[in-house]
Amino acid sequence: MKFKLWVTLTILFFIYSFYVYIYSSSEKTPVQPTASVLSGWQVWQNKNCHTCHQLYGLGGYMGPDLTNIASDPTRGSDAYMKAFMKNGTDKMPDLHLTEEEMNSLVSFLRWVDKSGKSRVGKESVHWTGTYIF
Ligand code: HEC
């Protein structure tokens, strides 16, 4: 009896390990941040963008989630993103950013976009893990 249980658990362990292996080998290689990305990250923190905007679903809720803005067909252009950063709107304050700060913020947001998804579609969720293609 004990032997059967031991064999069953061992087999299950190997099957599960196989699934974990498949899951982890499909992981994308992380994109290394450039100097511009890192300075954009600094500006993001110093200007407290996170108090109103979320990245990966975390942050304030006054403004929209910006995790995947860079790959959004309507919102992803440099000009669109910089228009908000340059003057603010009636809802977002003008943070008096320099041209250089805005460019590095755009690089930062493009880098964030490649690193994950803010919302994962149902079709990507499987009992062995979450797959984003
Ligand atoms: C006080 C809150 C607040 C802060 C701080 C703030 N934002 Fe915003 N942001 C908003 C709101 C609200 C909107 C939506 C504006 C609108 O629709 O008029 C917005 C919109 C945007 C958009 C356009 C998003 C879209 O989906 O169209 C970008 C890009 C953006 N903000 C970037 C930034 C960056 C970068 C910072 C930091 C330098 C920042 N914001 C700081 C409130 C804020």
Whether ligand 1 lies within 6 angstroms of the CB of 50 is answered as no
Whether CATH 1.10.10.10 fits 35-115: no
Ligand 1, closest atom to CA 51? 5
Mean pLDDT of 110-128: 84
Over residues 91-106, the pLDDT tens digits come to 999 999 999 999 999 9
Q: Where are the alpha helices (DSSP H) in 1-95?
A: 2-25, 35-46, 78-87
How would residue 28 be classed by pLDDT, with cut points 50, 70 and 90? Answer: low
Distance CA 101, CA 14 (A): 51
CA 16 to ligand 1 centroid distance, Å: 44
- Assess whether the C-beta atom of 93 lies below 6 angstroms from ligand 1: yes
Give the mean pLDDT of the chain: 90
Q: What is the pLDDT of residue 133?
A: 58
> CA-based angle 118:119:121, to the nearest 5?
150
pTM beyond 0.85: the answer is no
CA of residue 29 to ligand 1 center, whole Å:
30
The pLDDT score that the predictor gives to residue 9 is 97
Lowest-confidence range among 10-14, 42-46, 117-121? Answer: 117-121
Contact yes or no for 65/118 (Cβ under 8 A): yes
With a cut of 90, say whether residue 122 has pLDDT above it.
no
What is the per-residue pLDDT for 23?
78
What is the number of other CB atoms lying within 10 angstroms of the CB of residue 132? 11
CB 109 within 8 A of CB 43: no
Q: Tell me how far apart the alpha carbons of residues 127 and 123 are, in angstroms, rounded to a whole number.
A: 11
- Contact between 94 and 87 (Cβ < 8 Å): yes
- Name the residue among 100, 121, 86, 126 with its Cα closest to residue 40: 100
In the reported structure, the alpha carbon of residue 126 is separated from the centroid of ligand 1 by a whole-number distance in angstroms of 34
Reading the block at residue 100, the tokens are 């250089």
- Which residue CA neighbors atom 41 of ligand 1 most closely? 49
List phi, psi (to 5°) of 124: -90, -10
Q: What pLDDT, on the 0 to 100 scale, is given for residue 29? A: 67
Percent of the chain past pLDDT 90, that is, above it, reads 71
State yes or no: pLDDT of 25 exceeds 80. Answer: no
Query: In angstroms, rounded to a whole number, what is the distance separating the alpha carbons of residues 70 and 77?
Result: 7
